[in-house]
Every structure is written in structure tokens, then in C-alpha cells.
Amino acid sequence: MLSTVIAIAEQVRTGQRKAVEVAEESLRAIDTLDHELHAFLAVAAEPMIQQARLVDQARERGEPLGLLAGVPVAIKDAICTRGLVSTAGSKILSGYVPPYDATVITKLRAAGAVFPGKTNMDEFAMGSSNENSAYGPARNPWDCARVPGGSSGGSAVAVAARMAPAALGSDTGGSIRQPASLTGTVGVKPTYGRVSRFGLIAFASSLDQIGPFATDVRGAARVLSVIAGKDPRDATSLDVPVDDYEAACGKSIRGLRIGVPEEYFAQGLDPEVEASVRAAIASLEDDGCVVKPVKLPHTRYAVATYYVLATAEASSNLARFDGVRYGLRVREAHDDLRAMYGKTRDAGFGAEVKRRILLGTFVLSAGYYDAYYLKAQRVRTLLRRDFEAAFGDVDAICSPTSPTPAWKLGEKMADPLAMYLSDVYTLPASLAGIAAMSVPCAPTRGGLPVGLQIMAPALRESTCFSLAAAWEARLPTQLPPLGFER
């Protein structure tokens, strides 16, 4: 079984293990497990081995190795990788191979990471269960009849099943934190602008943010330290110093003030999830934190606000997929440009993507722009002010990540609103642009993972890591039952 990010990097650096051996172990795990879990849409076996050989050769030459030397990092299929197919889980990009790397990929390569492949996801990151993937859903390794969450479900599954100790996902409204919660992994949504979005296939540009999954908190901290920072190719990336996130994992939490929002412990919250999360908060209090109630009164508007703003941005961003420049083209319509656009988009986009494009086009249309889009922007400001007021009294806010454990495949597909509500606790932090992460709590009686969400002010990821590491130290490591006898 693959070890943690920190352990692998240290073993490779000191010569205890060769990077090629680690890569081969990752590929064996994928070969053993992924026929059932479907975490990967593309496996890059030969490129991964070649990357690992370069790491081993650098060490043999006595060259200093990067922070992630030899560490397998799986990559969400919405992140462009040079020479490796990147489809965003959609038929409209079937077979598309980018000619360039996303900035985060460039940084991972420089740090010595190796890439086992591209992970499954809801099409264009639009979904909360991974069931909207054009290539079939990933499955939760804790129970293969259940969803892993979405949209970064494949990345979460790859880490939960130890096919890789870390992975990259993207989080627009909870797409890292929610699958992390449902699969018992650590998932981090950095502050908006903390990590470059260059090379991320866009869903909603004012919300999208790349972040890491890992088997443990310190591993996630190290990956974030590598990918964070200013990028001149992304005008929204922030030109501020990157904190030492690993050092934050060992920092005392005594005296930190934790807010508990009553709005996140309301109707619809599974009783076992509530009990597990409250127990984690009580443990942090035992470690010296000061726990106090806070109010986030506009939380109840977050779902409606998100699905106006995100769909509006999606309708604009997805206009580029028209069959002209790249991706799918319906050939029988090539003599008529308008027909080619329509038939290509109809064949290439799935039902959920079409639903969101239509909704986004509607809220931006003449006569409805003020009533919906501008009003949603104003409510977003109110949500942000809620957090600003709360963070005037506390250092962090703790809540459930997801209102329920993982549900059965197909259970919510016929009811889009029920699916949208599964992100009710993650959406507000995305709309506010603050730092947030999910770390495992004690599981339910049935053995399903539960996530504790930790939110902190913008650029205070270190606070999240300090609290998460302190809680993790009290919780035994949890492994799914699938495949660990190999």
C-alpha cells in the first residue's frame, strides 16, 4: 500500500526507495482496483515511469530533489496536461490533447511529482456525485454501490483507495471538499487567487479554484505549498507570500477561537453526521480552542445565489466549445455552420451541462439580468460580509462538509434540486472566496466517512491546517475495505 506524500518524498530523497518502484506500486494498485472504481479516465503508465526515472537519475547525480520527488499525484481531467488527453469528463473534448501544461502541472513537475493519469469527474465540473461524467461514474471505495461525491470524484477515489497519495481537483462550489468528505480523504479549497487557474478548463471563473487531495493533512499542506503562488498568466492570482503550510500543521491551536454556525446544524443534517462533527469540535475544545456560536444569516440564500452566478459564467465559458477549433465536430453538418454548432453541442454536452447552459443564458438575457444576475451578485456580497463579521470574533469556523454520508448511485439523479442541496454547506465559502478544507471525522455506524469542514479568512490556510492536523492526531487512520489485502 502506498505511503503518505511526506514519507514517499523522504524515502526517495534519501535513497530508501527508488521513484520507479513507487510509480510501479501506484500503477499496480490502479490495475488491481480501477476496473471496479473507475477513478481514472486515462492512465499514463509509460510517461509516469519515465518521469520517475528522471527523478532517480537526478538523485544518482547528486542533484537536490524537489519537495514531491517521486510522489504520484493524480490529476483531475479538467486540468490541462501537455501530451496527455484532457476531456473535462465530456464527449465534446473526447480525445483532446493540450499542447501545454497548466501552471500547477508545471510546478508539480518542477517539484519532482509523477502523474499516474487523469481522473474521472462530472462533466465540466458540473455535479456533486460524479454521475454526470460522460464516461461513467467513479465509485466510492467504502461501498461501490455509492457515489464518491463530485465533481472531483475520481481524484478523491484515487487517494481514498491509495492508488495515489495525493491528487489535484478543482472546487467551484464544493467539488474538492464534498468528495473528500464522502471518501474519507483530506481536501483543500484554497483562497480564491491563491493558486493559478491557468490551464484549468473553466466552469465558473469567479469561483473555480484548484486544490489538493491527500491521505493526510501534512501531505495536502505540502502539495499546496508547491502549487500556490502568483502566476503572471492568471490575472486573478494573488501576489502575496506563500505560508509554510507544513509548519502550520505542528503549530499549537491553544487559544484559537472556533465559530460554530447554527445555520449549518439545521433541518436536513443527518444525525450521525452531526454527532461526528460535534465530537470533533469538542475534541478541538479539549485541545485548548475556544468554541463559540456565530451567525451566518444569509446562508439560506447560498444555493440559489450560486446556481444563478455559476450557470451564468458557465454559459459564457462553454460557448467556446463549438466544433470549430478543437474537440468534437458533427461531420454531417459541416456545410451549414449554424447546424454544425447546434448538432455538435447537442451531441457533445450531457443533460446537466445543457441544463446549466440554458439556465445561465436565461439569467443573463435581456429583461432578466437585473432580476437574477445582479441580485445574485448583491447577495454574494452579503454572504461575504457575513463571514467578515464572523471572523471579527473567531479565527476559524467549523461545520459539517456534507449534510449526509455518501448516497447510493442513482438515488438523486432524477431530482436535480436534491443533488444541488448536497453542497449546501460548501457553497458559502466558495461564494465568499475564503480558505476551506475537509478533514475526516469518525465514520457513521455503517462505516461511511464523514467530513469536518474548517473555514478561515482569506489567505489563512495555515489556520485550517493547524486545526485539521490537531484533530487528525486524535483520529485513527481510516482505510476503505476494498483491495487492501493485496
CA neighbor of 21 nearest in space, from 34, 13, 12, 33: 12
pLDDT score recorded for residue 484: 46
pLDDT score recorded for residue 408: 98
Residue 306 in contact with residue 203, Cβ under 8 Å? no
Task: Determine which helix (DSSP H) or strand (DSSP E) holds 273, and give its type and residue range.
Answer: helix 271-286
CB atoms < 10 A from the CB of 18, how many?
A: 18
C-alpha cell belonging to residue 405: 454520508
Supply the residues annotated as catalytic. 76, 151, 175
CA neighbor of 449 nearest in space, from 260, 177, 127, 167: 177
The boundaries of the domain holding residue 11 are: 1-486
Task: Determine which helix (DSSP H) or strand (DSSP E) holds 20, and give its type and residue range.
Answer: helix 19-37
pLDDT score recorded for residue 398: 98
247-278 b/e (C-beta count within 10 Å ≥ 16 → b): ebbebebeebebbbbebbbeeebbebbbebbb
CA neighbor of 399 nearest in space, from 377, 424, 366: 424
pLDDT score recorded for residue 240: 97
Number of domains in the chain: 1
Alpha helices in 206-270 (DSSP H): 217-227, 245-248
Strands (DSSP E) contained in 218-306 are 257-261, 290-294
Q: What is the DSSP string of 359-399?
A: HHHHHTSTTTIIIIIIHHHHHHHHHHHHHHHHTTT-SEEEE
Residue 158 in contact with residue 180, Cβ under 8 Å? no
Residue 58 in contact with residue 150, Cβ under 8 Å? no
Residue 30: which CATH number? 3.90.1300.10
Residue 470 in contact with residue 423, Cβ under 8 Å? no
From first to last of the 486 residues of the chain, give the pLDDT tens digit.
789 999 999 999 999 999 999 999 999 999 999 999 999 999 999 999 999 999 999 999 999 999 999 999 999 999 999 999 999 999 999 999 999 999 999 999 999 999 999 999 999 999 999 999 999 999 999 999 999 999 999 999 999 999 999 999 999 999 999 999 999 999 999 999 999 999 999 999 999 999 999 999 999 999 999 999 999 999 999 999 999 999 999 999 999 999 999 999 988 999 999 999 999 999 999 999 999 999 999 999 999 999 999 999 999 999 999 888 888 888 775 568 888 888 899 999 999 999 999 999 999 998 899 999 999 999 999 999 999 999 999 999 999 999 999 999 999 999 988 999 899 999 999 999 999 999 999 999 999 999 999 999 999 999 999 999 999 999 877 788 865 443
C-alpha cell belonging to residue 135: 464516461
Strands (DSSP E) contained in 340-482 are 396-400, 435-440, 451-456
